[in-house]
Chains A and B, each alone.
Chain A
Amino acid sequence: MTFVGQPVARREDRTLVTGRGRYVADIRLPGMLEAAVLRSPISHGVIGVIDAAPALELPGVAAVITSADIEGYVEPFTRPFYKTIPQHVVEATGLIVRPYRAQLLATEKVFRVGEPVAVVVAENRYIAEDALELIDVDYQSLPGIHGIDEALADDAPELHPEVPGNVHCRFEVSAGDPDAACAQAEQRLSTRIVIGRSVGSPMETRGVVAEYTAPGDLRIWATQQRPHLLRTYLSEMLHLPEEAIRIISPDMGGSFGGGIYNEEVLIPYLAIRLGRPIRWIEDRRENLGNARHSRDQVHDVEVCYTNEGRITGLKDRFIIDTGAYNPFAITLSYNTAAHLRNQFKIDNFWAEGLCVLTNKRDNTPVRGAGRTSATFVCDRIVDMVAAKVGLDPADVRQRNLIPGDEMPYNMGMLYRDGGNVVYDSGDYPSQLQKALQLVDYDTFRSDQDRLRAEGRYVGIGISCHVEGSGFGPHEGALVRIDLSGHVVVHSGSNPHGQSHETVLAQITADELGVAPNDVTVRAGDTGLIAHGGGTFASRSAVTAGSAVHEASGRLREKVLAIAGSLLEVDPSDLDINGGVVHPRGVPDVGLSLAEVAEAAAPGPGSRLPAGMEPGLEVTSYFVPPTVTFSSGTHVAVVEVDIDTGLLSILRYVVVDDCGRILNPMVVDGQQHGGVAHGIGNGVFEEILYSEDGQLLNASFMDYLLPTATDVPFIEVAHETHLSPLNPMGIKGAGEGSAVSPPAAVANAVVDALRPFGVEITEMPVTPAKLWRLIREAQAQNR
């Protein structure tokens, strides 16, 4: 491989650094109107009369629509974003998922603050927002549910009649015999661990532009990770054939999770209804409250272990506050259960997952998607066990990790896609060893006492993780050589910063014997390829990469077959170099790819071997057998200012195993960014609701993202164990880096504050919480 594995410079950059990127908000069509959304100011209530007349009288307002206006024209959301859970998973886990139904515009009731009630369309956004203030809605508040305990209380109001007791999903998973293991255990401990709520916060807010130029021609630009899925939804909900709808995801300023949104259905409908292009761009306040949230779980966990710190059993009953609707059903909760045992050999295991509905924003996957919570629980518990048995956490980890020679390791439960949870590749003890060496763990330990004597509270914390990556069910790639000999790749997976243009070009370039600059990669357009998955679940390198590899390989065979016939050489004796097909070892004789493309073109001049289809174009769909498990080990070194609770991260070390590294520059970039995201989730970011369901921190002044002063340089190293589940041995690299930081930092904080005996059972560890913990510990020790 010439280009795969190299830090090939990004093809994307020239456009982006010069300000020539084209994000949704940059799209301006002739005659375009702009929309703004009126949102519920209360968390639960009945809607009475909506008086939009004053808004309609405002000059420049083109339309105001409410639920009555779309009734019969637009269907509500009625199915979750992943269609089916295989029946054998349903049976093995006792899975219950209640019907999913969510209104596009509030009809009789509102179920959360921020739920869309009406949409205004006007000449510009300024006028549209003026008009929002002129709409009068008669709300009658109902008692709301704003937490898990409230939702499950005996006298809790039932939010939806089809969801008895507010439990939307429930399942159980187990392996081995956890009851027997715990009954026989030398020691056990139980604790409650609470995971706070956060939001993905891409730097670009969401947006939609829709244009309906003629029947059968609805064109939509949207900040959408899954354009093909949006097309399917719109086809169903607007009663249009898929062919009539083209979704374009242009440049996207991050995304990190989300799904299909109400506005992505309403704005296209309005474009049809009004016959004018319409643009809706979310503002940041809307984004923090209305882009779907994530995390927000409570775990009641029991761990059983020997006096030597060997964990023999783990039981966990966890509940997710899933908010007003649960469009991803068990994606988060099942991910949590499937990753709860992390890299450890814990053969006796039981977990029950519940998703409960409340009057808050939906809780759905964001970078990490359940693994961040699972890893925080697991890695905190391992450190608690270490403290109980009086051993260093690093020792207890080594004692419990799955040994390298036992890989691949079957965890004894099913994955959500129906496959077995089998850690397919990796060497976790070696990964930990490497991380400890990089951070120079032993030296740190010997320095720590001296620093404490100087009044400096420094600590070191470890977290490891696994990540089932490359989720299916499929991803597609079309590879074509045009008549100029240029290579074109159409990918069903579109990026939001992940460098598809560069990395997929590297794969094709190697297969077809050209340079990456001879390849154009296009993605994010349903017009490019019939089926597409998208970018989520750390899947693009695995699934789109494999599809491109397969399609390019098949195209190469066709090129060689045609060239072999023209040159009268056996195709197996041919090679492609620098865009020229030539007999192996005879670089001077050959045909350019343009010449082969011309010979392959349809028509009387075609010089194809008999029976061969014309054209140099191959489409492949890669269907992964199940997910492949990437892994990583993180070590954080922190210092706590015990007077203020302020936390400084002094060093941060990552050892990552994502199998075959396609572009090390890009992979390291994913590590850096994921760690920063994880540090944010672990230390700063927490969506807070008041007791009556009002979002308390809907600005970047109150919801804190990590800045450059909060994040250190990230020291990244790699271990490479190829996946056996795809041809190139790729494992996902996008999310794992965001999974471990909250646990690594929390473990480091506990370590730093060991003289006080501070224990952390809550994520995030904000400076205010930490200050309180230190004060409480000081008071107790006094």
Chain B
Amino acid sequence: MTRDVTLEVNGDPVTDTVDPRMTLADYLRDVAGLTGTHLGCEHGVCGACTVLLDDRSVRSCLMLAVQAEGHRVTTIEGLVGPDGGLHPVQDAFSRHHALQCGFCTPGFIMTVVEYLAEGGSDDEHEIRERISGNLCRCTGYHNIVLAIQELARQNP
């Protein structure tokens, strides 16, 4: 048994035939070929698989692909400008050495894109609370918080 699902991925309308039990994460990675969305725990704790669904962060491991019917999905690949330029959050993460192995990074960046879109402040406590749903084992969060603070200060 399969189902057709129609959604928008990084601005492009797509229709695919999927198993109803396929997660959104597996759909993005294996069907859409967007492997920048990573799977760290597949039980909704680590946040590595975070994508934006209609501009709100969701864990793509906890959603089925068919549930994304009619929605807009943005992944890490969708942040790069048409000229190949980095999104400001990608750029800030790099400049602040806010990543080491890079596995959790796409999930963090998507969380931060949402935070900034909501006008998030540069308050350390508020930032730490907001990213506490994303786990990183390499950076101790130090430079991630610094990068977000800088972004928040520059946020229009």
Contact = CB atoms under 8 A, between A and B. Distances in A.
Interface in A347-383: none
Contact of A673 (B19, B77, B103, B138): B138
A595 interface: no
Interface string B108-152: 010000000000000010011101111111111111110000000
B135 A705 contact: yes
- Please name the 4 residue pairs, one residue from A and one from B, whose CB atoms are nearest each other, closest first: A19-B36, A253-B103, A16-B102, A497-B101
B141 A711 contact: yes
A251 B102 CA distance: 9
A201 B137 contact: yes
B135 A12 contact: no
B34 A19 contact: yes
A203 B137 contact: yes
B64 interface: no
Interface string A1-42: 000000001101111111111110110100000000000000
B19 A676 contact: no
B6 interface: no
Contacts of A22: 35
Given A18-B76, A25-B39, A700-B135, A672 B140 contact: yes
B90 A256 contact: no
A228 interface: no
Given A16-B105, A203-B104, A672-B140, A713 B97 contact: no
Nearest to B37: A19
Interface in A691-713: 699-701, 705, 707-709, 711, 713
B137 A496 contact: no
Contacts of B102: 12-13, 15-17, 21, 251, 253, 497
B141 A676 contact: yes
B101 A17 contact: no
A669 interface: yes
A705 B141 CA distance: 12
A526 interface: no
A16 B75 CA distance: 13
A496 B101 CA distance: 6
Contacts of A283: 42
17 contacts: A10-B97, A13-B102, A17-B99, A17-B105, A18-B86, A19-B36, A19-B106, A20-B36, A20-B77, A202-B101, A203-B135, A669-B143, A673-B139, A673-B140, A707-B133, A709-B132, A714-B142
Contact of B90 (A18, A498, A677): A18
Nearest to A202: B137
A742 to B, nearest CB: 15
Contacts of A15: 102
Nearest to B34: A19
A707 B140 contact: no
Interface string B44-58: 011010000000000
B21 interface: yes
Given A699-B45, A708-B128, A713-B142, A19 B137 contact: no
Given A204-B103, A672-B139, A709 B128 contact: yes
B103 A19 contact: no
A499 B100 contact: yes
- Give the contact-size bracket for chain A: 35 or more
Interface in A642-701: 665-666, 668-669, 671-677, 699-701
Nearest to B19: A126
Given A10-B97, A21-B36, A708-B136, 4 more contacts: A13-B94, A25-B39, A284-B46, A707-B128
A254 interface: yes
Interface of A: 9-10, 12-23, 25-26, 28, 126, 201-205, 251-254, 256, 283-284, 496-499, 665-666, 668-669, 671-677, 699-701, 705, 707-709, 711, 713-714
- Give the contact-size bracket for chain B: 35 or more
A714 B141 CA distance: 10
A203 B48 contact: yes
B30 A28 contact: yes
Contact of B145 (A19, A498, A675, A713): A713
The majority secondary structure among interface residues of chain A is loop
A17 to B, nearest CB: 4
A284 to B, nearest CB: 4
A12 B127 CA distance: 26
Given A203-B101, A284-B42, A10 B140 contact: no
A19 B29 contact: no
A493 to B, nearest CB: 15
Contacts of B75: 19
B30 to A, nearest CB: 7
A11 to B, nearest CB: 10
Interface centre among A26, A256, A665, A669 (most CB of B within 10 A): A669
B103 A669 contact: no
B86 to A, nearest CB: 7
Interface centre among B21, B79, B128, B134 (most CB of A within 10 A): B128
Contact of A701 (B43, B79, B105): B43
A203 B40 contact: yes
Contacts of A17: 76, 86, 90-91, 93-94, 99, 102, 105-106, 109
A587 to B, nearest CB: 32
Contacts of A498: 100
A207 B68 CA distance: 28
A284 B48 CA distance: 12
Nearest to B35: A26
Contacts of B135: 203, 700, 705, 707
Contacts of A126: 19, 21-22
Contacts of B80: 18
Contact of B138 (A14, A18, A254): A254
B22 to A, nearest CB: 8
B59 interface: no
Contact of A18 (B77, B95, B139): B77
Contacts of B22: 126
A700 to B, nearest CB: 4
B93 A284 contact: no
A20 B142 CA distance: 24
Given A10-B94, A204-B40, A700-B43, A19 B77 contact: yes
Contact of A708 (B97, B100, B132): B132
Contacts of A202: 101, 103, 137
A34 to B, nearest CB: 10
B18 to A, nearest CB: 11
B123 to A, nearest CB: 13
A23 B46 contact: no
Interface in B10-45: 19, 21-22, 29-30, 34-43, 45
Contacts of B100: 254, 497-499, 669, 673
A773 B141 CA distance: 30
B148 to A, nearest CB: 10
A672 B102 CA distance: 15
A16 B39 CA distance: 15
Contacts of B45: 699-701
A251 B105 CA distance: 13
Contacts of A203: 38, 40, 46, 48, 101, 103-104, 135-138
A205 B40 contact: yes
B108 to A, nearest CB: 10
Contact of B41 (A9, A673, A700): A700
Contacts of B128: 707-709
B44 to A, nearest CB: 9
A496 B137 CA distance: 12
B21 to A, nearest CB: 7
Contacts of A19: 34-37, 75-77, 106
A25 B37 CA distance: 11
A714 B142 CA distance: 7
Contacts of B42: 283-284
B115 to A, nearest CB: 12
Contacts of B41: 284, 699-700
A284 B41 CA distance: 5
Nearest to A200: B137
